[in-house]
A and B are shown apart, each in its own frame.
Chain A
Amino acid sequence: MATTMVKPAGWGRLRLDRTRPKRQEIGPLERRRARAGLLFISPWLVGFLLFYLLPMVASAFFSTLSFQLATPDEAEFIGLGNWQRALFNDPNVWRAWIVTLRFAVINLPIGLVVAFGFALLLNSDYLRSRNLFRTLFYAPSVVPFIASTLIFSQILNSQTGWVNRLISFLFGIDATGVDGIRWLDNPTLIPLTYTFIGIWGLGNAILINLAGLQGVPTALYESASIDGAGWWRRMWHITVPMVSPVIFYNLVLGLVGLLQYFLQPFVLNGTSGYPQGATNFYMIYFYKQAFQFAQMGYGATLAWILFFVALAITIVVFGTARSWVYYSAEQT
C-alpha cells in the first residue's frame, strides 16, 4: 500500500537516485554483490526457464497442434482447432466446469466457516489446555490425502459406514438401506460428500485463522466492551474485519486448489465420473485427455483454459477485496 509522508527537502532527489542508479555510479563492490546475488538465485532462474517458461511457451504451441504422443510424426498444425473444439464442440468441457464450480461454491463457504469457527474455539480464553486441543485438531491434516480419502469413503459407505448408522440411531430412520442416504452414489449429494471427505485438509486454514485472531489487539475488544458491545457485535465489527486478510488468503488459495481438484475423485472413481458424471471434475477430464488418451495438443489447450479460468476468478476475487478486506495501517 502506498504510504504518504512529509519529506524533508532533498529527499525526493535522493530517492530518485536510488531507484534509478546510473551504471557508472555503481562501485566495484556493489557490482560484485549484485553478481553474487544473481548467482545465489540462479538455481531458481534456471529452473524457472527450464520448467516454467519453456514449457509454457511449448504448451501454447502444442495447443495449436493435433498431436498424439504415440505418433509424433503425424503431428500437424491446426491453428485454433483445439480451442474451437474445447470451447464450442466438446460438451464434456462445460459439464466438467459445471461440476467443478458447483463443488467450489458448496465447498468453499463450508470450509471457510468451519475453519474460522474452529479457530475461534481454539482461541477462546475459556478453553482449558488449549495447546493440547490445538495439536489434536491439527493432527489429521498431516494424514496423507490418499489415506483420509479411503477412510472417509468407508465412513460414508451407505450400508456399513458410521455416518449412516449414527443417523439411523439418532433419528430412528433407516438410513442404511437401499432407500437410505447414498452419499457416494447420489449425484446430488456428491459436492457435500466430497466436502466431508476433504474436511481434514482444513488444518492449515484453521492455524492461519488462529494466528490472525491472536493478532487482533485486545484493546479493541476492551474499548468496545466498555461502549456496551455484546459478543455478537464485537465479532462482526472487530474480529471478522480484523482477520479478513487471513480469510481472503484462505479464499484465494482454496479457490485455486479447488479448480484443480483431482486426487479424491480419482482415488474413488478413477476417470469414470461415477455417479452419472458427478465426479467428472475438470482436472479428471484433463488427465483423461492429456495422459490417458495422450492427446498432447488438446491436453495443452485444456490446461490453458484452466489457467485462464483461474486467472479470471483470481482477478475478480482480488477486485472484490477492496470492499471487504480490511488492512489496518500497521500492516502496510
Chain B
Amino acid sequence: MNLLVPRRQVTTYDEVTARIKRKRLLMTWGVTTLAVAILSVWLMPLAYAGVTSLKTRSQVADAPILPTEIATFEFEDRKYEVFEVPFDDGDRELALVTRGRETSEFVDPSDPEAGLITWEGRWRTLEPVRSLSLAWGNYPEAWELINFPRLLFWTTFYATVTLFGAVISSAFVAYGFSRFRFRGRGVLFMVLMATIILPPAVTQVPSYAFFSWIGWTGTWLPLIVPQFFANAYNVFLLRQYFFTIPTEMEQAAAGDGAGALRTFFYVILPQSVPALTAVSLFHFFFAWNDFFGPLIYLVSNRDIQPISIGLTFFSGVYDSEPQLIMAASFIPLAIPLVIFFFAQRVFIQGIVITGVDK
C-alpha cells in the first residue's frame, strides 16, 4: 500500500455494493469449495469399497488406487510385461523381452514385425505400464459363498413383517395418547419415553432364558413377536403428527355416529400417510441394521440368519480376501442407499421431528 497517497474519504453507493458483491462471491466460492473437499473425504470410503470390490487378491496389495494390472504383450507364444521406455524423441510403451544389466531388448506391441529394439539403460528403473482390469467375478463369487439370496430373504422378511406390526401398533398407541383423556396418561407416557434410555441388556437375559425355555431360540419368533407391541420412538413421532391434525373432522365423524376405531381408520390414518411413511422407513432401516437380537437368538441356526450376522461370520472366515468382503458389503449397502435417495424428504423430516421436539 502506498502510504503517501491519502485515502479517499468519499465512497459512493455503487462502490459499496460492488465491494459487498465481491465479498459474497468470494465467500460463496470458498465455502462451496470447502464443502466439496470435505464431502470427497466423507464419501471416500464408498469409493474405496467400490474400487476394492473390483480388485483381485494381489491387486489389493499391489495397486494402490485403481484395480490395475501390469500390461502384458504376447510375443512368440510368451507373455512379456510392458514398460514405459524413454527415448530421445519421447517415451514409448514397449514389452520387455530380454532383461540385461545395462542393455535390454524390447518389442513394440503396436508393431511386432519390426523385431527387437535394443535400449541402453537399466530396465529396473523403468515404470511398468498399468492398465485397468476389473475383477467383476468377485461379486458372483461373494454372492455364492455367502449365499446372498437366503440372507436377503430373511432380512427382508424380518423387516417387512415387523414393519407392519410396529407401525400399526404404534399408530394405535399414539392415537390413544394424543386424543383421549384417562387417568395416569401423563405418567404412562413418561414411562414409555423412559424406555428409550433403558439399556435393552436389562431385559435380555431373562427374556432369553424364557424364550429358550419355550423353545423359540433358533427361530425368528423372539425377534418378531415383541415388535407387535409398539415402541417409544414410533409412538412419539406419530403422536407429534396426530397433534397437528385438526380435530374438526373427528368431531364430524363422531357426530355421524362413527366410533373411535372407525374414526381412527377412516379419518386419522388416511391423513397421516407422511408420518406413517417416515416411521416405516425408520423401522426398515432399524431392521436392516438389527444385530444383537439376531445374534443371540439365531447364532445356532445358520439357515435363517440375516445379512448383518451372515456378513459378520463371512468376514471372519474370509479375513484374507478383502476384495470379497468389500463385494459382499456393497450389496446390503446399496439397497438402503437407493431407498434413501427416493424417500429422503420424508425421512429427513422424521428425524428432525424426533430430535427437535423432544
Contact B288 A144 (CB under 8 A): yes
Residue of A nearest to B192 (CB): A44
Given A55-B203, A69-B209, A151-B48, decide whether A157 and B322 contact each other with a Cβ distance below 8 A.
Answer: yes
B355's partner among A42, A54, A150, A246 (CB-CB below 8 A) is A246
Interface residues of A in 115-139 (CB under 8 A from B): 118, 121-122, 124, 126-128, 133-139
A259 to B201, CA, bound (A): 11
A254 to chain B, nearest CB (A): 12
Stretch from A98-106, A204-212, A217-225, A273-281 that touches the partner: A204-212
B227-266 CB mask vs A (1 if < 8 Å, else 0) is: 0111000010000000000000000000000011000100
A260 to B210, CA, bound (A): 23
Contact B183 A303 (CB under 8 A): no
Contact A300 B45 (CB under 8 A): no
Stretch from B5-13, B100-108, B115-123, B305-313 that touches the partner: B305-313
Stretch from B69-77, B82-90, B173-181 that touches the partner: B173-181
**Is residue A83 contacting chain B, with contact meaning CB distance below 8 A?**
no
Given A43-B230, A159-B61, A291-B208, decide whether A256 and B202 contact each other with a Cβ distance below 8 A.
Answer: no
A314's partner among B175, B197, B289 (CB-CB below 8 A) is B197
Number of A residues, CB within 8 Å of B: 95
Contact A140 B205 (CB under 8 A): no
**Is residue B149 contacting chain A, with contact meaning CB distance below 8 A?**
no
Contact A40 B260 (CB under 8 A): yes
A47 to B226, CA, bound (A): 7
Contact B226 A144 (CB under 8 A): no
**Is residue B187 contacting chain A, with contact meaning CB distance below 8 A?**
no
A252 to B197, CA, bound (A): 9
A136 to chain B: which residues have CB within 8 Å? 39, 43
Given A34-B180, A146-B308, decide whether A43 and B201 contact each other with a Cβ distance below 8 A.
Answer: no
**Is residue A56 contacting chain B, with contact meaning CB distance below 8 A?**
yes
Stretch from A2-10, A263-271, A320-328 that touches the partner: A263-271
A139-176 CB mask vs B (1 if < 8 Å, else 0) is: 11011111110111011010110100100000000000
B352's partner among A33, A34, A208 (CB-CB below 8 A) is A208
Contact A56 B203 (CB under 8 A): yes
A114 to B339, CA, bound (A): 26
**Is residue A215 contacting chain B, with contact meaning CB distance below 8 A?**
yes
A124's partner among B31, B339, B352 (CB-CB below 8 A) is B31
A300 to chain B, nearest CB (A): 4
Contact A296 B64 (CB under 8 A): no
B79 to chain A, nearest CB (A): 26
A270 to B317, CA, bound (A): 12
A170 to chain B, nearest CB (A): 13
Given A144-B333, A208-B352, decide whether A155 and B61 contact each other with a Cβ distance below 8 A.
Answer: no
Provide a sorted-by-A list of 21 A–B residue pairs whose CB atoms are within 8 angstroms.
A40-B177, A43-B172, A47-B226, A69-B209, A121-B31, A127-B35, A133-B39, A136-B43, A139-B43, A143-B333, A144-B289, A144-B332, A145-B291, A150-B325, A151-B326, A154-B322, A162-B44, A207-B351, A262-B292, A300-B206, A303-B199
